[in-house]
């Protein structure tokens, strides 16, 4: 009697296991066709609360609605973002682990001192999202009326003019270095970010401040600072009256923070396609654009291919400016 019961139980268990297996396999098949069917992790390689983090959380919220799956933001902080990107690179390229991506990634691996073992090929570029253009501003009583006057003075007095950058090897610093290569030597003062740059500019501790156009627009509007130039190929809508650097001086000096989204290398093309469409829809939503605009950030959509090409170009530009 006992034997029969055991046998039945064993058979039953085997059956359950078989059913479990088949179910699993079936689900996996379905997964490929109906990506996504489980929660997605979005790595933000910076601390919670910064402007990158808030921007990513705004996107995550909308991505959830677009994809019908929860999108969990995970702040993986360390080594100026590198720890987070390493975690991404080690994740399965199934589209369930994505990451916020910034140009700091490129600077980080170009720097020979850092001895990084990854480059642009270790991620799959999905889309570009934020376009945060740099503007140079001075105090209203500054002798420099425009970028040309500034450059003329810099040429005559190399290493005299101080410019507040928001930290070493930021886009602000790299622009100063690029100008250096052209024979215009300025003195970068590395602050620890927006607030300090602003204080130093308003207090007259530096001659020029390099900041995001969206961050400086209020001070410009209220007359506390005067914008000299926008460092982009076209004017910023945050400072429509301010000419570009090239308009004024003939020198193409560009600086911007471009933030996008990436996945691990060799991602499934179907998932890439699905994400591209979802991101595109979000970025075309006027409400989202308005939300980002309120934070002083422009939205500029680039699809996977365009984003990849843009990053390659950026890599070449940074190499040149930094001399690495």
Partner 1 sequence: MESLGYLLQGFETAGTWANLLLCLIGVTFGMCVGVLPGLGPTAGTALLLPLTFGLPPVSAVIMLSGIYYGAMYGGTITSVLINTPGESASLMTCMDGYPMARQGRAGSALGIAAIGSFIGGILALLVLILVGPIVAKQALKFGPPEYFALVVVGLSLLIGLMGKSLLRGLIAALFGFALALIGMDPLTGTIRFAFGMEELEDGFEFVSIAMGLFGLSEIFITAEENLNAQAQKPPKIQNMLPRREEWGPSIKAILRGSGIGMILGLVPGTNSVIPTILSYTIEKKVAKDPSRFGKGAIEGVAGPETANNAYAGAALIPLFTLGIPSSPSIAILLGAFIMHGLTPGPTLLQKNPEFVWGVIASMFIGNLILLIMNLPLANVWARITMVPFKILLPNVLIIMILGAYSINNSMFDVGAMLAFGILGYFMKKVAFPLGPVLLAFVLGKIMETSLLKSLTIFSGSFIPFFQRPISATLLVVAFAIISISLYFAYKEKGIDADTEI
- Provide the binding-site residues for partner 1, judged by CB under 8 A: 47-49, 51, 53-54, 57-58, 61, 74-80, 82-83, 86, 111, 113-115, 159, 162, 167-169, 187-192, 194-196, 198-200, 202-206, 218-219, 221-222, 224, 291, 294-296
Residue 181 beta carbon to partner 1: minimum distance, rounded to whole angstroms:
18
Burial of 216 (0-12, 13-18, 19+ CB in 10 A): buried
If 0-12 CB within 10 Å is exposed, 13-18 middle and 19+ buried, where does residue 177 land?
Answer: middle
Q: Minimum distance between the CB of residue 53 and partner 1, rounded to whole angstroms?
A: 7
- Rg, Å, the chain Cα set: 25
End-to-end CA, the chain: 80
CA angle 123, 126, 131 (to 5 degrees): 110
In angstroms, give the least distance from the CB of 188 to partner 1: 8
- Closer by beta carbon to partner 1, 75 or else 277: 75
Q: Is the dihedral of CA 279, 284, 288, 289 positive or negative?
A: positive
Q: How far is the CB of 60 from partner 1 (least distance, A)?
A: 9
Q: Which two tokens stand for residue 232?
A: 């982009």
Nearer of residues 146 and 293 to partner 1, judged by Cβ? 293
Contact 135, 212 (CB under 8 A): yes
Q: Which two structure tokens, joined as six digits, stand for 96?
A: 């369930």
Q: Are 66 and 281 in contact (CB under 8 A)?
A: yes
d(CA 271, CA 35): 7
* Residue closer to partner 1 (CB basis): 79 or 316: 79
Q: Least distance from C-beta 168 to partner 1, angstroms?
A: 4
Q: State the Cα–Cα distance between residues 76 and 42, nearest whole angstrom.
A: 10
For residue 257, the minimal CB distance to partner 1 (Å) is: 16
């Amino acid at each position: 009697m006992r034997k029969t019961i055991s046998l039945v139980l064993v058979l039953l268990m085997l059956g359950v296991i078989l059913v479990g297996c088949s179910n699993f396999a079936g689900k996996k098949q379905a997964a490929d066709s109906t990506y996504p069917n489980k929660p997605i992790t979005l790595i933000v390689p910076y601390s919670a609360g910064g402007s990158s983090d808030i921007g990513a959380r705004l996107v995550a919220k909308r991505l959830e609605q677009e994809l019908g799956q929860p999108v969990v933001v995970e702040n993986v902080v360390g080594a100026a973002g590198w720890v987070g990107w390493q975690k991404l690179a080690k994740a399965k390229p199934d589209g369930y682990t994505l990451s916020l991506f910034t140009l700091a990634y490129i600077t980080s691996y170009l720097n020979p001192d850092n001895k990084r073992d990854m480059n642009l090929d270790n991620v799959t570029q999905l889309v570009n999202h934020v376009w945060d253009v740099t503007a140079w501003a001075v105090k209203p009583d500054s002798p420099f009326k425009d970028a040309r006057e500034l450059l003329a003075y810099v040429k005559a007095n190399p290493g005299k003019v101080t410019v507040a950058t928001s930290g070493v090897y930021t886009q602000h610093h790299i622009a100063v270095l690029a100008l250096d290569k052209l024979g215009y030597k300025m003195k970068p003062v590395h602050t620890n970010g927006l607030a300090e740059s602003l204080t130093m500019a308003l207090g007259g501790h530096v001659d020029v401040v390099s900041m995001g156009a969206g961050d400086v627009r209020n001070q410009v509007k209220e007359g506390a600072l005067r914008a000299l130039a926008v460092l982009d190929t076209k004017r910023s809508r945050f400072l429509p009256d301010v000419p570009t650097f090239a308009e004024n001086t003939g020198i193409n000096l560009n600086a911007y923070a471009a933030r996008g989204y990436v996945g691990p290398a060799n991602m499934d093309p179907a998932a890439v396609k699905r994400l591209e469409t979802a991101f595109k829809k979000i970025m075309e939503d006027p409400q989202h654009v308005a939300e980002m605009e309120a934070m002083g950030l422009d939205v500029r959509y680039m699809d996977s291919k365009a984003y990849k090409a843009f990053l390659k170009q950026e890599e070449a530009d940074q190499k040149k400016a930094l001399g690495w």
